[in-house]
Amino acid sequence: MPEYTVLTMIGMVAVVLAELLVFRTGVFRTVRYWVTMIIVWAFQIPVDGWLTKLSHPIVIYRRAETLGLRFPWDIPIEDFGFGFSLVTLTIIVWERIDASRSGRATTRNTDTR
């Protein structure tokens, strides 16, 4: 399997597992998280599409390092997974820091011993 694809998949799985097993902020259950992701993709698509368009690319990917699936506007499909991982991990860490500073308990920290 291509290197960029493998690293993207590892990143996505690692972030989801970090949320579900370590941070437990509950972001995947919130509407504001999914609205945030829609906003991110709304900006990612035109910018990434312009940078990776096959007619005149600014960023060039070696075909052997990706699956070769491009959607929409010639964006390598792996870019969406990579963006998901970066943005989601940032949100999870922010949520955890905010909960710690405000004294709110996250799902994981509900034990009051």
Structure confidence by residue, pLDDT tens digits, 23-35: 999 999 999 999 9
Residue 88 lies in a domain: yes
Domain-located, residue 40? yes
Mean per-residue pLDDT, 109-113: 45
Sign of CA dihedral 50, 47, 76, 60: positive
Is 38 domain-assigned? yes
**Domain limits for position 47:** 3-101
R_g over Cα of the chain: 17
Please check whether residue 85 lies inside any domain of the structure. Answer: yes
Higher pLDDT residue, 49 or 1? 49
Residue 83 CA to residue 101 CA, distance in Å, equals 27
Q: pLDDT at residue 102 above 90?
A: no
Rounded (10°) angle between helices 3-17 and 78-102: 20
Q: Give percent of the chain with pLDDT exceeding 70.
A: 91
**Residue 11 within any structural domain of the chain:** yes
Which position has the token pair 């075909």?
Answer: 63
* pLDDT of residue 47 exceeding 90: yes
Q: Is residue 107 part of a domain?
A: no
> What is the arithmetic mean of pLDDT over 33-55?
96
Say how far residue 80 (Cα) sits from the centre of its chain.
7
Q: Tell me, yes or no, whether 108 lies in a domain.
A: no
Q: Which amino acid is at 104?
A: R
Mean pLDDT, all residues of the chain: 91
Domain membership flag for residue 93 = yes
Residue pointed to by tokens 């290197």: 3
Q: How many structural domains are present in the chain?
A: 1
